[in-house]
Structure 1
Amino acid sequence: MTSLLLHSQKLIIFSSLTLLLIPSKVSGDCTCNSSSEQSEKNEVLKYKLLSIAAILVAGGIGVSTPLLGRKVHIFRPENDLFFMIKAFAAGVILATGFIHILPEAFRTLTSPCLNENPWGKFPFTGFVTMMACIGTLAVDTVATSLYKKMHFNKSKLVNVDEEVGVDDEHAGHVHVHTHATHGHAHGAAIPSHDKSSMDLVRQRIISQVLELGIVVHSVIIGISLGASESCDTIKPLMVALSFHQFFEGMGLGGCISQADYKSLTTTIMMLFFSLTTPAGIGIGIGISRVYEENSSTPLIVEGIFNSASSGILIYMSLVDLLAADFMNPRMQSNIRLQLGAHTSLLLGAGCMSFLAKWA
């Protein structure tokens, strides 16, 4: 009987100790997991902040390089080397549209997470891209047309003022003689001035529309990086996007350089480009707790914006950058320049395409 009691007491003590130890073990596991999760979140945030700094610096260096290069004689627009630099930049922008943005737009707008009706029954990606190309063409032509009308009206007013000045200086019978003898001189001077002005306004329209297309895409990829919660995703993306922003910045910087803006406007455009991706990362960090990458609304918004951005960049690179330069009489008459420009174009497109392996 005594041995039975002792055995019972031992069993009770063992059971009690077991019950006490089990909760403490469970509690210990929870504490450990919480600490591990917090540590991982801190590391993710650290890489996100590092990404902001790296992309900001890379974009700033890229967009400022062509502008600073204007002070070096061989990098000026009147030199053949500038054609090759622009061809490289155009290749970068073309590859950005075709290789980086358009496939991502197809992926998001054809995601199985979206409703079959209407997203699975119509190729919205191609449609939005096409409409963005047409819209860019409309902006391009209308803006140029409006400037031409305003400029020619102003030129006519200036010519009238000049003729009135001549009338005031000379007698009435001299007016007819002056107009007849000097009419050709006025007619020869104005087209040359108008041509240079039209070239300048074309470059300004190109630089502004191009920046719009780049900025839309930059915000989207910034938000994607900022909302990510995996270090394995962020690390390669940070490096790839740094090179991405550097090359895109070179392309945009070359266009801004040719547009010959005032210093304030140039600085604003440079800052606007450099800050958009870091700003997108900041937005992504802010919404990371509520952002669901595979929910319908982010997929639709991201897909439509990426489609529009790809349409703008593809149009700008092919029509306003490559076609304008490769059909230039100066390049058409120089075989060596043509070979150099084509090589630069392939090199720029190749470098940007290579980055698609990581981003």
Structure 2
Amino acid sequence: MHDTIQYCMAGTSEFQVMNPAASTATATEELPAQYTGCHAHDSTMYCLDNTGEEYELVAEGAETSEAGEGHEHESTESHEGQNCHFHAGVEHCVGAGESESGGTRSCERTDRTYNIPLRIGLLFVIFITSAIAVFAPILMGSYLQNNAVNFCLMILKQFGTGVMVSTAFIHLLTHATLMLTNECIAWPVQYEGTATAIMMAGIFLAFLTEYLGARFLFWRNDKHAPAGGSNSSVGSGDHDPEAGGGSLESGGGGGGGKTAPTNTLTTIAGCGNELMTHVHPGQEKLAVTVMETGIVFHSLLIGLTLVVAGDSFFLTLFVVIIFHQAFEGIALGARIAELPSSSSSSSPSPYILPPNTHPVSLTTKLTMGALFALVTPVGMAIGIGVLGEFNGNDPATLVAIGALDAVSAGILAWVALVEMWAGDWMHGGAMARAGLTRTVVGLGALVAGMALMGVLGKWA
């Protein structure tokens, strides 16, 4: 009972009892605890009570189902005549016949019953899934050294690039826009580009972090470079990367002892018939760190919004988040696995470590993976703690979640498009001169990552 209206559950769907005796009863009158013999006539369901009397049941929110088309819906008991649904787990309610972008909303908190033991149990499922997804590529790259494993890592890496692109634009930017355009926020000046403006700030923040980090690496390596300058100095900026015909002699320096100049930003290594160039390993580690920062921000929000979703939508959203975490874990793990472990050939990374460069230990890689595996469960734990107070339509909540989503979208957009996509395929990366088979498979994995993560955007 909610006030004087009786509701019943059939499977995961909620129905309002429309019989006049039931719908106008007072809270003290006895009503049937359950109904049997349910059957449908056209779009209306009828059920019998224990005396054989027939009652009409109407699916809650059926009259307004077109209001939030394209998103999973759950009707909210305390919002009679409204259609309530979830975007990334945050509830939004609109009136009958109103669109998502129009009409009036209730900004009040909705009281609902949550299955807390279920949420606590599934917290560990999220953790295990995230851990397997992120640790598998790291351990493969550290202990299994052969061409087949390297080929698999290439597939995972390109799949992860597609996942990150889709996450930035379909998941984060879309939901940031929905949050920041919610009518519960009383902006002093209406500006439709708020979310994209914050996203641009995230892009600039990611760029600035990597740029300043690169300048620091240049300064540090110049400081420790041998007097007189040598091939080992990194970051001088006086060398032309196109000098010497773009080639680097690996032998004893034929051609009269003339040594080709080295690009201070680039390390070149031969791998079969392919020529692979990469940025300084310190910059590569910084790029992966920036990428993980963007993932951590929005993974925390994912855990929070998953828990506060209503019970009838929770399991659907949980399944989607499982795949979401698996895809993101693979994307991050493949990039972490590529970080150089040592200067020996045992590392799967195609780097020749320059002087004064510390390899990334396996412990560091596992720590980076563990941070990803833990952050979503931590967000879920926070969500469980605030279940009794969380209001998805509170202006402060909307601004906080929307802004963090937009910043994360900008960070991941920079990393995905510049560092991962363009870095691998256009700027001397491993795929720039790859053979036909690797190119076709890599492109397929890239598109698959974007497509699969894009499909998940329907629910989360």
Instruction: Give the drift of 1:156.
Output: 2.3
Give runs of aligned pairs for residues 103-118 of structure 1, distance below 5 A: 103-118=174-189
Q: Equivalent of 1:66, from 120, 137, 142?
A: 137
Question: Which residue of 1 is the match for residue 370 of structure 2?
Answer: 271
Instruction: Give the drift of 1:192.
Output: 8.4
Matched, 1:88 2:90: no
Question: Which residue of 2 is the match for residue 206 of structure 1?
Answer: 287
Give runs of aligned pairs for residues 94-133 of structure 1, distance below 5 A: 94-118=165-189, 120-133=190-203
Conservation of the 8 A alpha-carbon contact between 1:206 and 1:255? no
Instruction: Report the aligned-residue RMSD.
Output: 3.0
Question: Which residue of 1 is the match for residue 442 of structure 2?
Answer: 341
Cα distance between partner residues in 2 of 1:290 and 1:185: 74
Question: Which residue of 2 is the match for residue 259 of structure 1?
Answer: 339
Instruction: Give the drift of 1:148.
Output: 1.6
Distance of aligned partners of 1:115 and 1:191 in 2 relative to their CA distance in 1, 3 Å threshold: closer
The CA deviation string for residues 144-194 of structure 1, in whole angstroms up to 9 with x for no partner, is: 12112201221226989xxxxxxxxxxxxxxxxxxxxxxx98977976897
Matched, 1:300 2:370: no
Instruction: Give the drift of 1:303.
Output: 0.3
The CA deviation string for residues 83-114 of structure 1, in whole angstroms up to 9 with x for no partner, is: 33211110011111111111110000000111
Counting helix residues as a fraction of each chain, which structure ranks higher? 1
For structure 1, list consecutive stretches of 5 or more residues without a partner in the other structure.
Answer: 1-24, 33-39, 161-183
Conservation of the 8 A alpha-carbon contact between 1:148 and 1:198? no
Q: Equivalent of 1:146, from 203, 216, 225?
A: 216
Cα distance between partner residues in 2 of 1:222 and 1:330: 35
Count of paired positions: 300
Matched, 1:319 2:400: no
Q: Which has the higher contact order (CA 8 A, sep 6+)?
A: 1
Instruction: Give the drift of 1:358.
Output: 2.5
Under a length normalisation based on structure 1, what TM-score does the superposition of the two structures give? Answer: 0.76
The CA deviation string for residues 59-103 of structure 1, in whole angstroms up to 9 with x for no partner, is: 101101111221332355xx4543332111100111111111111
Question: Which residue of 2 is the match for residue 216 of structure 1?
Answer: 297
Matched, 1:245 2:325: yes
Question: Which residue of 1 is the match for residue 382 of structure 2?
Answer: 283
Cα distance between partner residues in 1 of 2:409 and 2:153: 25
Structure showing greater Rg: 1
Conservation of the 8 A alpha-carbon contact between 1:92 and 1:248? yes
Cα distance between partner residues in 1 of 2:413 and 2:188: 29
Matched, 1:309 2:380: no
Conservation of the 8 A alpha-carbon contact between 2:336 and 2:365? yes
Question: Which residue of 1 is the match for residue 267 of structure 2?
Answer: 195
Question: Which residue of 2 is the match for residue 26 of structure 1?
Answer: 28
For structure 2, list consecutive stretches of 5 or more residues without a partner in the other structure.
Answer: 1-26, 35-111, 231-255, 269-277, 341-359
Under a length normalisation based on structure 2, what TM-score does the superposition of the two structures give? Answer: 0.60
Cα distance between partner residues in 2 of 1:75 and 1:320: 25
Look up the equivalent residue of 1:26 and give its one-letter code: T
Look up the equivalent residue of 2:451 and give its one-letter code: G
Conservation of the 8 A alpha-carbon contact between 1:83 and 1:325? no
Look up the equivalent residue of 1:357 and give its one-letter code: K
Conservation of the 8 A alpha-carbon contact between 1:206 and 1:316? yes
Look up the equivalent residue of 2:295 and give its one-letter code: I
Look up the equivalent residue of 2:292 and give its one-letter code: E
Cα distance between partner residues in 2 of 1:190 and 1:336: 31
Partner of 2:377, secondary structure, is helix
Cα distance between partner residues in 2 of 1:88 and 1:135: 25
Conservation of the 8 A alpha-carbon contact between 1:222 and 1:278? yes
Conservation of the 8 A alpha-carbon contact between 1:58 and 1:246? yes
Conservation of the 8 A alpha-carbon contact between 1:54 and 1:238? no
Cα distance between partner residues in 2 of 1:186 and 1:358: 61
Distance of aligned partners of 1:242 and 1:157 in 2 relative to their CA distance in 1, 3 Å threshold: farther
Instruction: Give the drift of 1:126.
Output: 0.6
Conservation of the 8 A alpha-carbon contact between 2:138 and 2:366? no
Look up the equivalent residue of 1:342 and give its one-letter code: L
Instruction: Give the drift of 1:116.
Output: 4.0
Counting strand residues as a fraction of each chain, which structure ranks higher? 2
